[in-house]
Structure 1
Amino acid sequence: MTASYLILTPPGAPAAAENATFIRDGFRWTAFFFPVPWLLVHRLWFWGIIALVLQVAASILTDSSELAAAGFTLALAVSLLTALEGPQVLARSREARNWTLRSIVSARDLQTAEQIYYSAHATPEKPASAPTLPIAGTNTKAGSPPALGLLGYDGE
C-alpha cells in the first residue's frame, strides 16, 4: 500500500537539505483516537484549542439523554476530521511559516520516500580536472590567453 509524502524544507534551505520534513498524507490513527494531544504535539495550537472546545461540548452533550447521539456524532466528527485533514493542516502551517513544499512522493514507507526524494536531488560529484598542459609555440603574456595561432582577443 503506497502513501503520499509531502516534503517540506525550512526557510532558506536547499532542496536536498538534511532537515527536510516528510509528512505522510493519509489517515492517522493516533489523531483519530487522540485528536487534541495530536494537534498540540504538532504545535497546531489554534486547531488544538478548537478541537478541545468541541470535545468538551461533545462530552456535555453526551451526558444529556436527549442529545447523546449529537454528542457522539460531534466527537466522532472531530476525530475523523483531525485524522483525515491533520497532515494537510500541518503542511499548511509550515508553509505559512515560510517552509517550502519541494515535492510530493508516493512510496510504500518513509525510507523509500526518502530514497526517492534524495536520489532525485543528489548533487553529482565534480570530476577531478586534469592539469592543463601549455601549448607549444604560443605567446602566454599575463592577462592574454592563447588564440591558437590566430590573432589574440585584444587584436594583436
Structure 2
Amino acid sequence: MASFVVMEAPEGGDEAAYIRDGFHFFAFLLPPIWLAWHRLWIEALVAFAVMAVLGSLGSVSGLSEAAPLLSLLVSLYVGLEAPALRIAALRRRGWREWGVVDAYNRDDAETKHLFGDSVEQAEETRVPAPMPEPQPLAPRAGPSGPALGLFSYPGAR
C-alpha cells in the first residue's frame, strides 16, 4: 500500500492532485526529462546544469571514473525527492495540502479522498470516547530537595 499526498487546487477550483510518496524510478533514470514532464522547469534546468557540470568536470580534471558516480548521486536525489519537489511546486502555485491517503493506486486514493475511507465507516455512527476525569495527585513521600540528575545532594533537606 502506498501513501498519496492530496493537494487541492487554489480557491475556486475543484480539482486535486494525488502525489504518490516514495521512490520514482523514471525520475531516477531521466531526472531533467521527468522534471520537465511534470512542469518543474526550474528544477529541470538545475538538474541538467548540475549533471552537465559534473560530466564536464570529469573530463577536464581527469576524474573520468568519478563523474558518472556523481551524476548518479544527482539522479538518486531526484528519484528520492521527486514527490517533495512536486509538492513544493504546487504550494508555490497556491495549492494547499489536504492530507495523506493510504491506497493501492491513484484511483483508489481518489475514491478514498472523495468518499472517505470506506462505505462501512461512512455509514457507522461514531460515538466519541468519554473524557477521563482528572485524578488528584498523590502526595509525595519523603523529603524533597534539590537534586542533580538521578541522585539528590547528600545531607540536603
With normalisation by structure 2, the TM-score equals 0.68
Whether 2:94 is the aligned partner of 1:98: answer yes
Whether 2:56 is the aligned partner of 1:69: answer no
Structure 1 unaligned segments of length 5 or more: list them. Answer: 125-156
What is the match of residue 82 of structure 1? 78
Q: In structure 1, what is the Cα distance between the partners aligned to 2:105 and 2:21? A: 12
In the TM superposition, residue 50 of structure 1 has moved relative to its aligned partner by: 1.0
One of 34, 45, 58 as aligned partner of 2:41 = 45
Residues 72-126 of structure 1: per-residue CA shift (max 9 Å, x gap): 12211110111110111111111121101111111121121111111129xx9xx
Q: In structure 2, what is the Cα distance between the partners aligned to 1:77 and 1:27? A: 14
Q: Which runs of 4+ in 1 moved over 4 A?
A: none
Contact 1:54 1:74 in 2 (8 A): no
Q: In structure 1, what is the Cα distance between the partners aligned to 2:84 and 2:61? A: 36
Change in Cα spacing, 1:90 to 1:77, as seen in structure 2 (3 Å) is: same
With normalisation by structure 1, the TM-score equals 0.68
In the TM superposition, residue 68 of structure 1 has moved relative to its aligned partner by: 2.0
User: CA-atom RMSD, angstroms?
Assistant: 2.1
Could you tell me which amino acid in structure 2 is paired with residue 31 of structure 1?
A
What is the match of residue 113 of structure 1? 109
Q: In structure 2, what is the Cα distance between the partners aligned to 1:12 and 1:92? A: 18
What is the match of residue 136 of structure 1? none
Q: In structure 1, what is the Cα distance between the partners aligned to 2:115 and 2:28? A: 34
Contact 1:57 1:71 in 2 (8 A): no
Contact 1:31 1:83 in 2 (8 A): yes
What is the match of residue 24 of structure 2? 28
What is the match of residue 3 of structure 1? 2
Structure 2 unaligned segments of length 5 or more: list them. Answer: 123-157
Q: What secondary structure does 2:5 align onto?
A: strand
Could you tell me which amino acid in structure 2 is paired with residue 38 of structure 1?
W
Larger Rg: 1
Q: Determine what percentage of the aligned residue pairs are the same residue.
A: 31
Change in Cα spacing, 1:115 to 1:62, as seen in structure 2 (3 Å) is: same
In the TM superposition, residue 10 of structure 1 has moved relative to its aligned partner by: 1.0
Q: In structure 1, what is the Cα distance between the partners aligned to 2:40 and 2:98? A: 21
Could you tell me which amino acid in structure 2 is paired with residue 51 of structure 1?
A
Could you tell me which amino acid in structure 2 is paired with residue 66 of structure 1?
G
What is the match of residue 151 of structure 2? none
